[in-house]
Copies of this chain bind each other. A is one copy, B any other.
Amino acid sequence: MSKRVKIGIVAPSSRLDPATAERVAKLAAERCPEAELHFHPQCHLSCGHFAGDDAARAAAFAAVANDPTFDALWFGRGGYGSARIAEAVLPKLTDTARRKAYLGYSDAGALLAALYAAGIPGLAHGPMPADIRRKGGEAAVARALDWLVRRAPEALEPSLAAGGKAAAFNLMTFSQLIGTPLEPDLAGHVLMLEEVDEHMYRIDRSLFHLTSHRPLRRLAGIKLGRCSAIPPNDPEFVLNEVEVVEHWCKVSGIPYLGRADIGHDPENKVVPFGAWRTGAP
């Protein structure tokens, strides 16, 4: 019998509804019986925009991160709220929090960034339980479980096979970490960026921001994930997202390395932070 892998799910950003949690638990039982999922009750709290107030979200995150019986902390959902609690969470973390996998994306990037800046290993950008609500989203959730339970190589963003250090973020989420203590040192990394629901002029402005920030000029390069649900630009922006990132890479001297297989969609692959090392969890 395979080793059980205990996964604690918290929601540092927006609320995860119980029905979504049940669908994910059912899928995990069917498709990945080694996974033992524990949805922390905080996932279902509600406080305005957030899954509970800042104190409740920070406490749940620290409780799961510091619990040695959990092998992994899985971000339940994005939305907004991780940045709000990151500076409060960090001092609460013990050495136990360093021996754990973390998986999430979108707004979760604010906490992943802060954890990476604090030198915590085991972080990855990838699907979350809430992705099950997308059309075809079961595949994304199954991919995340394959990663969390057995570090399945087929869950990985394909270009990672080339080796080197990487990190992945939502573009706007990362832009609004620049210059704060949450910003990690990404010198020598390939930075993969994806976006959703942003006008093209805002994608351009965010790329101005990133590529003009001098520490990021030490990146090994930028890879562009999918930019989906872009609202119409008035007037037409003319440049598309590839031309925009090519422009800013040319201006800044950061190599543009092509597309990345990440985005707000069921195809979203897993990107471990730092140098990817093979091996079981």
Do B180 and A49 have beta carbons less than 8 Å apart? no
A95 interface residue per 8 A CB criterion: no
Give chain B residues whose Cβ lies under 8 Å from the Cβ of A235.
Answer: 15, 46, 48-49
Contacts known (A178-B178, A179-B179); A48 close to B209, Cβ less than 8 A: no
CB of A209 within 8 A of CB of B49, answer: no
The residues of B that contact A48 with a CB separation of less than 8 Å are: 235-239
Q: A48 to B201: give the CA distance in the assembly, Å.
A: 10
User: Is A20 located at the chain interface by the 8 A CB criterion?
Assistant: no
A233-B87 contact in complex given A182-B212, A201-B80, C-beta closer than 8 Å? no
A174-198 vs B: 1/0 string, CB under 8 Å?
0111111111000000000000000
Q: Is the CB of B179 within 8 A of A237?
A: no
Residues of B close to A208: CB separation below 8 A: 83-84, 176, 180
The interface residues of chain B lying within 8 Å CB-to-CB of A237 are 48-49
Task: Give A54-87 as 1s and 0s: 1 = Cβ < 8 Å from B's Cβ atoms.
Answer: 0000000000000000000000000110011001
Report the separation of the CA atoms of residues A238 and B50 in the bound assembly, to the nearest whole angstrom.
Answer: 10
Is A213 an interface position by the 8 A CB rule? yes
A46 / chain B contacts, CB cutoff of 8 Å: 235
Q: Do B204 and A80 touch (CB < 8 A)?
A: yes
Contact of A209 among B79, B176, B200, B205 (CB under 8 A): B176
Among candidates B87, B183, B201, residue contacting A49 with C-beta atoms closer than 8 Å: B201
Q: Which residues of B contact A204 (CB under 8 A)?
A: 49, 80, 84
Are A205 and B239 touching (Cβ within 8 A)? Answer: no
> Contacts of A178 on B, CB cut-off 8 Å?
178-179, 209
Residue in B closest to A88 when the chains form the complex, CB atoms? B251
Contact string against B for A residues 12-31, beta-carbon threshold 8 Å, 1 for contact and 0 otherwise:
00010000000000000000
Q: Which residues of A contact B (CB under 8 A)?
A: 15, 46-49, 79-80, 83-84, 87, 175-183, 200-201, 204-206, 208-209, 212-215, 233, 235-239
Q: List 23 A-B contacts (CB under 8 A).
A: A46-B235, A47-B238, A48-B236, A48-B238, A48-B239, A49-B201, A49-B235, A80-B201, A83-B205, A83-B208, A83-B209, A84-B204, A176-B206, A176-B209, A179-B179, A179-B183, A179-B209, A179-B212, A179-B213, A179-B214, A179-B215, A180-B213, A182-B212
* Other 4 A-B pairs with CB < 8 A, given A176-B205, A181-B214: A49-B200, A49-B233, A179-B212, A180-B213
